[in-house]
Each structure stands twice: as C-alpha cells, then as structure tokens.
Structure 1
Amino acid sequence: MKQLIKVIVYRTFDLFFRYRFNRCIKNLNKKDKVYLVDIDNTLADTWPSLQNYVYRNDNHRYGSLSIFIGMRNFILEKIQDKDRVVFISARGYLNYFSTLKWLSGNGLNSINLILVDRAEDKLAYITELLERKIAVVYIDDLSYGHEYGEVRLYEKMLLKLNTLPVEYLGVKEIELINSAYATSNKGIKKDIPNCQNYISNKVV
C-alpha cells in the first residue's frame, strides 16, 4: 500500500512539473535558446553540506547553501539577453519551496524551476526541447560522491548527451565560470560584474 501511494505521489509531482515546463516553453520558437541549469554543485556549493550534516532537515540544509557568484552572474546575463533559463534539479519534491526561496534570496526569482526524481530524468526535458527544434544549452556537473572523497560521473547520461545535438557545459566549463568569484551565502551585491570568460563545449 505504501509503495502504491509513493508511486501515485511521484507521478502527480512529475505531471505537475511537466505541465509547468510545457507552459514555460509553449511560446518559444526555433530561434529561441533554452538554458537548462542544474543547481547542486553547479550553482550551489552543495557537497560540503552532505559531508558535515548539521541540519534539521534537507529544507534547512538547502536554505543554508552558498551560491557560486560566477554561475549566478552567467545566468543573469542570459536572462538579461532574454534567453529562457530553466533550473532543473534532482531534489526531493518536498524541497520545491525551499529551493524557490533560495533562488529568490540570491536574486534569481525570475526563473523557472523543475524538480526530478533522478538525474537521468532530466533527459526527458532535453528531448522535449529538441523535438520542438529548440536549441538547448545544458549546464550540469553530472557528478556525485564528492563528500566521500571519490568523485564519479553519470557516465550513462554523458554517453547519451554525446548522441544529442545539445551544447553541454560540464565540470571543466562550470569550474572555469565559477573560478572567477568566491561563493557567498550572505546576499548578493549589485555591483558584482558579469562573468564573461567561459568555454562552450559543443556536443555532437
């Protein structure tokens, strides 16, 4: 019975986020570009919080995370250029509002947020955009295990990405973008300049 309830709840949330995503992209055309951006270890300095878990729960933990200023500025630049930015993160569905609050608190309240159950589920959203002939820039470190001292990559996802016509910014590109600035969890200063130096990695 518990398993059935879990399946129903997960299916309901999945449908909710797919609905939100479709509303987000419904007015886009072939000339538009969508930036799909991961949060944990891409925009948020997440893994140290798993190494030293001193939080009441995950909502509390997510709210305490520092943000990478370089990636934040990179994203704001795209929003200002009128490109569509969608955050897509493999987090528990019940962390939706705490994630929204964190993004808003870091000056990113004009974006869309999608949560998925597993990292691999992000591929469905990428495929949806490609089927609509919309250009995709996918920014995701696609790594895990930092807190255990052994970083691993989602190899199957990377292999799949290699077959898709997307522009993928992975670990090296993310580190380059973020290396220009320190992290911050004390609010954002308006006079921080935009990050201009980054590498685009075209996956073909």
Structure 2
Amino acid sequence: MKKIKQCFFLLASKIYIYIILVKLSRRKYSRVFIFDIDNTIAHTWFSFNTTYFKNNHDRLLSLPIFTKMRRLISILYKNPNTIVLFLTARSLHDYPVTYKWLKSQGFPLKYSDLFIVNSPRFKIKILSALKKQKVNVYYIDDLSYNHENGVVKFYDSEIKDIKNLSTLQENIKYFGYDDIERFNSF
C-alpha cells in the first residue's frame, strides 16, 4: 500500500508540475510565491493539543491565519505579474477542506493553485522543476514539526536540499522558520 501511495504522489507531482509550467508559459509571470500552510500561514500546532474538535475536518477549518501572512498574500494576488501557489504536506483526503479554508481567508485561488504532497520530500521535486524557468521563485515554508510536544523539530535533510537548490539557482529564494517567525512577530 505504501508503494502505491508513493507512486500516486509521484505521478500527481509530475501532473502538477506540468500544470504549473503550462500556467507559466501562457502568461508572463515574473514571480512565483509558493507558501506552505501549517505553521507558515496558519497557526496550526496548538490545534493538536485541543479536544474540542469533533474531527480533523473541523480542526482544519478552524485554524487561525497569521494576519501579516494574509496581508502579504492578498497584496501578492493583486500583482498581475505574480502567481501565488500553496504547497502543503497533508493527507490527500484533506484537499477539499484545505481549499475551503484558503478560500475562506479571502484568497481567489483556483484548484490548481493548491497542491498536497504526502511528505516534505515531494516539495523539493516541485521546486526543482521550476529551476529552469525564467521566473523568480520565492518559497516560504517553516519545514518544522512537533511543536505540539514542546520541542520544535526540523526536516533537516529537506532544508539542506532546498538551501542547496537556492544557492545553485539564483531564481529560487527560500524563506524558512526563522524568517517566518521574524516576519510574523515584526
């Protein structure tokens, strides 16, 4: 079952990459902003320690958004040369509620503007596909987990790979946990 899931997400990633590349080729975007959701634009970790949610659907719909992130994303949507995408590691079953939550935040996204992967490793494949594009890519992702247990842990291998990618490719800029914390608390 795990192999089937991996193959599905690999195929889905390739299709999503194709959709994004077609979008980029049809319109002259100069910038692509890719946002993670959990603990990047949504204050998620506290929701794991509460007992008042009936189910995961209700928990995800109730997540508060960081005010400054909402403001930034709303401004970016107004720029015709910018495309805003959301790339998050969640269960595929969470796609409808995640889309609904983003729409409820006032974002005019299309279905192809949200992509769910089953692990942070798949995010790197999507970023790598954009390295040859003549567009600046800004990737905003905390790449952290375990907040709810009091000790923040990081996807160190993925962070290293993304930093390497952004070092080698001038058109890809990565903003991680510390950048997000500074931005939200400023």
Q: What's the TM-score once normalised by structure 2's chain length?
A: 0.84
Contact 1:28 1:134 in 2 (8 A): no
Give the aligned partner of residue 145 of structure 2: 144
Q: 1:114 to 1:71 in 2, by over 3 A?
A: same
Contact 1:89 1:116 in 2 (8 A): yes
Give the aligned partner of residue 24 of structure 2: 25
The answer on 1:69 being equivalent to 2:75 is: no
Residue 13 of structure 1: how far off its partner (Å): 4.4
After TM superposition, list the pairs within 5 Å mapping 1:173-188 onto structure 2.
173-180=179-186
| 167, 170, 195: which one aligns with 2:173 | 167
Q: 1:11 to 1:168 in 2, by over 3 A?
A: closer
Contact 1:129 1:135 in 2 (8 A): no
Give the aligned partner of residue 129 of structure 2: 128
SS at match of 2:95: helix
Letter in structure 1 aligned against 2:143? L
Gaps of 5+ in 1: 181-204
Provide Cα deviations, 1:159-183, integer angstroms capped at 9, x if missing partner. Answer: 1122223211112221222225xxx
Provide Cα deviations, 1:120-156, integer angstroms capped at 9, x if missing partner. Answer: 1111111111122321101011111101111011111
Distance (Å, rounded) in 2 between the aligned partners of 1:117 and 1:154: 14
Give the aligned partner of residue 38 of structure 1: 36
Q: 1:60 to 1:35 in 2, by over 3 A?
A: same
Q: 1:28 to 1:95 in 2, by over 3 A?
A: same
The structure where helix makes up a greater share of residues is: 2
Q: % of aligned pairs identical?
A: 32
After TM superposition, list the pairs within 5 Å mapping 1:1-16 onto structure 2.
2=1, 6=5, 10=9, 13-14=12-13
Give the aligned partner of residue 83 of structure 2: 84
What is the Cα-based RMSD across aligned positions, in Å? 2.3
Give the aligned partner of residue 99 of structure 2: 100
Q: What's the TM-score once normalised by structure 1's chain length?
A: 0.77
Gaps of 5+ in 2: none
Contact 1:41 1:47 in 2 (8 A): yes
Provide Cα deviations, 1:71-125, integer angstroms capped at 9, x if missing partner. Answer: 0111111121221110100011111111111011110123511111101111111
